[in-house]
């Protein structure tokens, strides 16, 4: 059976998709990039914003329209929050909620009578990643969140915290590395809460992975700022732990942070960043900002802009507030007009573009080991990412070609015209 896998939303959804790909292949099914030719389509939905819900529903409808003969399995946060509605959506054959998604392939095989053909099973789970131009593997290390930020529907959809044993994570990374993957990204809904249910913590997990694997590059997914103890920064003494962190801020106003039930104040965030940058060389920070939270006044908004500028984020993920049913924020008064939210979003986009260009300008003349990828975003130019997660392209007559999935030293020579990436030249060093 030909299976097409599609995800929307977070890195954790991508990690789950990679696991499903491995499990389908182990049962003798093939993975196809062409949804129109698939016998089975699996969609991992997102519900973090109203726009994510709209995109998830649109995708389900498009799958049925373009390939009505295929079976459609839907999972993810939208499917968990609205299982009845999702089941009634056009063409959906099976809904698997988040609590069961680790057994999605097993359940789909049973409910949809997908016969197992182990004689056709393919051996390497890394093959699908590399064939799709991805050199980074997302490793799901935990699920669920104990906190209840007032805007967040993911807590409702994902449930209680559940951590994978460190040995299991190490085995997965070692297996992927042996198959050719050079970079792993530890991912979770509440990554900093790893181990809360098994007597461990994120620092211990990272130490274990660095000690018991030899994968050249290890990254972390988003980490809440209040989950990082002072000793955390010493982990970056190992150069394999790459100097980029995504620290969700959400707002620069303490008043709005209280309404959001966030556990980190403005000044605490600033002190955390100062400590991190004093310890970790070349650290690049990105963040999330919610624009137009109920009651957000002009003064609150100015505080957010000012704090973002003071910190100098390398990238900002900008979310226009949308009330999500079941969250406390949905019942808050003083919602903002859409035109105000749009105007503030535009302000933040402009600031974000300026800060990124300023960061990129500081990289001129630097030398970085770049992991080259075959991702379509490089438009045929050989490109990849620096350790601090800056996109780098080099002039190559064959595109990625033989550079793909190799780490090569690059000297940064310019900022690309779009201000979003760096340009460089390969240095005469044998690729790793």
pLDDT, tens digit, 9 for 90 and up, residues 86-123: 666 667 899 999 989 999 999 999 999 886 655 444 55
CB 172 within 8 A of CB 208: no
Residue 401: predicted pLDDT: 66
Local confidence band at 125 (pLDDT 50, 70, 90 cut-offs) = low
CATH of the domain at 315: 3.30.750.200
pLDDT, tens digit, 9 for 90 and up, residues 29-57: 999 989 999 999 999 999 888 888 889 88
64-73, 180-189, 195-204, 237-246: segment of lowest average pLDDT: 64-73
Looking at 94, 120, 146, the residue that finishes a domain is 120
Residue 347: predicted pLDDT: 98
Cβ within 8 Å of residue 157, ≥6 positions away: 47, 76, 77, 78, 80, 81, 98
257 domain residue, yes or no: no
Q: Are residues 189 and 147 in the same domain?
A: yes
384 domain residue, yes or no: yes
Q: How far apart are CA 279 and CA 283, in angstroms?
A: 9
252 domain residue, yes or no: no
Q: Are residues 225 and 292 in the same domain?
A: no
C-alpha distances in Å from residue 145, one per residue of 78, 286, 405: 17, 21, 34
Q: Are residues 81 and 29 in the same domain?
A: yes
The tokens 């044993």 sit on which residue? 165
Q: Are residues 63 and 78 in the same domain?
A: yes
198 domain residue, yes or no: yes
CATH of the domain at 376: 2.40.50
Q: How many domains are contained in the chain?
A: 4
Q: Which of 21, 2, 6 is nearest to 70 (CA)?
A: 2
Q: Roughly what angle, to the nearest 10 degrees, separates helices 298-311 and 266-279?
A: 10
Q: Are residues 116 and 11 in the same domain?
A: yes
Tokens of 247: 């620290």
For residue 204, the enclosing domain spans: 135-242
Q: Are residues 8 and 108 in the same domain?
A: yes
Looking at 342, 362, 382, the residue that finishes a domain is 362
432 domain residue, yes or no: no
47 domain residue, yes or no: yes
90 domain residue, yes or no: yes
CATH of the domain at 153: 3.30.750.210
251 domain residue, yes or no: no
What is the pLDDT averaged over residues 292-316?
Answer: 97
**55 CB-contact burial (10 Å; exposed 0-12 / middle 13-18 / buried 19+):** middle
Local confidence band at 376 (pLDDT 50, 70, 90 cut-offs) = low
């Amino acid at each position: 059976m030909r299976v097409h896998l599609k995800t929307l939303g977070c890195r954790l959804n991508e990690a789950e998709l990679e696991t499903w790909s491995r499990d389908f292949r182990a049962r003798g099914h093939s993975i196809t990039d062409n949804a129109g030719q698939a016998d089975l389509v699996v969609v991992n939905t997102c519900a973090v914003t109203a726009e994510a819900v709209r995109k998830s529903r649109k995708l389900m409808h498009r799958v049925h329209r373009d390939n009505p003969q295929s079976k459609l399995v839907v999972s993810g946060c939208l499917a968990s929050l609205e299982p009845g509605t999702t089941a009634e959506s056009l063409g959906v054959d099976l809904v698997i909620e988040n609590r069961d998604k680790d057994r999605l392939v097993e359940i789909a095989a049973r409910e949809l009578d997908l016969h197992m053909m182990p004689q056709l099973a393919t051996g390497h789970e890394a093959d699908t990643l590399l064939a799709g131009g991805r050199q980074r593997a997302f490793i799901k290390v935990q699920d669920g969140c104990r906190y209840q930020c007032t805007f967040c529907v993911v807590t409702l959809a994902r449930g209680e915290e559940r951590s994978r044993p460190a040995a299991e994570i190490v085995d997965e990374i070692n297996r992927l590395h042996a198959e050719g993957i050079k970079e792993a990204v530890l991912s979770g809904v509440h990554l900093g809460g790893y181990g809360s249910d098994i007597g461990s913590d994120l620092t211990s997990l990272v130490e274990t992975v660095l000690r018991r694997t030899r994968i050249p590059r290890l990254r972390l997914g988003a980490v809440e700022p209040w989950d990082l103890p002072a000793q955390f920064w010493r982990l970056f003494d190992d150069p394999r732990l790459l100097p980029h962190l995504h620290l969700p801020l959400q707002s620069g106003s303490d008043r709005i942070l209280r309404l959001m039930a966030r556990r980190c104040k403005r000044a605490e965030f600033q002190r955390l960043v100062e400590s991190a940058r004093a310890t970790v060389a070349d650290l690049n920070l990105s963040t999330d900002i919610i624009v137009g939270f109920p009651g957000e006044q002009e003064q609150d908004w100015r505080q957010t802009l000012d704090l973002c500028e003071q910190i100098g984020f390398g990238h900002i993920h900008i979310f226009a507030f949308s009330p999500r049913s079941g969250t406390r924020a949905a019942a808050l008064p003083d919602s903002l007009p859409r035109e105000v939210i749009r105007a503030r979003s535009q302000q933040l986009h402009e600031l974000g573009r300026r800060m990124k260009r300023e960061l990129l300008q500081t990289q001129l003349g630097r030398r970085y080991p770049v992991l080259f990828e075959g991702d379509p975003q490089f438009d045929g130019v050989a490109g990849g990412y620096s350790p601090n997660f800056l996109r780098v392209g080099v002039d190559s007559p064959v595109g990625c070609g033989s550079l793909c999935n190799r780490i090569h030293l690059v000297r940064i020579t310019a900022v690309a015209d779009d201000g979003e990436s760096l340009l460089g030249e390969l240095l005469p060093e044998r690729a790793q």
